Amino acid sequence: MIRRLTLMALAFTAVAASAQAQVAPPHVGPGVDPPRYQADQHHQEIDRLRARADQREAFTRRLEVETRLSRLEIEAARQTDLALPPPYRALRSPEEERALRESATARRRDTTAGVEQVDAWLDRPAR
C-alpha cells in the first residue's frame, strides 16, 4: 500500500512538473502563439544587442578620432618653436654660433628622447 502511494505521488509530481514546463508565460494572453512569442522575444533581444554593439563601435570610432586630433595638436605644439623665425639675428662669433648649434642639437636630442617615451605610450595596444 505504501509502495503504491509512493509510486502515485512520484507519478503525480512528474506529471505536474512536465505540465509546468509546457505552460506559456503568464503575461501572454489567449490567442498568442507561444513559439511565435518566444521568437519575437529573441528578435527583440538580438536587435537590442546589435544596437548596443553599434553604439560601442561608434563610441570607439569617436575616441579614435579624438585621439588622432589630440596627437596632431601635440605634434603641432612641438613644431611651433621651429616654425617661428627669430625676431632679429644677433651677430656672433663662429665659436659662439657653433656652441649654440651644439646646445640646440643636445636639447633636441633630449626632447626627442622624452617625446619617444610619450609616443610609445600613446602607441601601446588597446586593452
Per-residue pLDDT tens listing for the chain (127 residues): 677 767 677 666 765 555 444 455 556 566 667 788 889 999 999 999 999 999 999 999 999 999 999 999 988 877 766 656 667 766 788 899 899 999 999 998 888 888 888 888 888 887 7
The pLDDT of residue 86 is: 64
CA distances from 27 to 13, 34, 96 (A): 25, 11, 90
| Every domain of the chain and the residues it spans | 35-82, 95-127
DSSP structure class, residue 125 = P
Cα(86)–Cα(114) distance, rounded to whole angstroms? 25
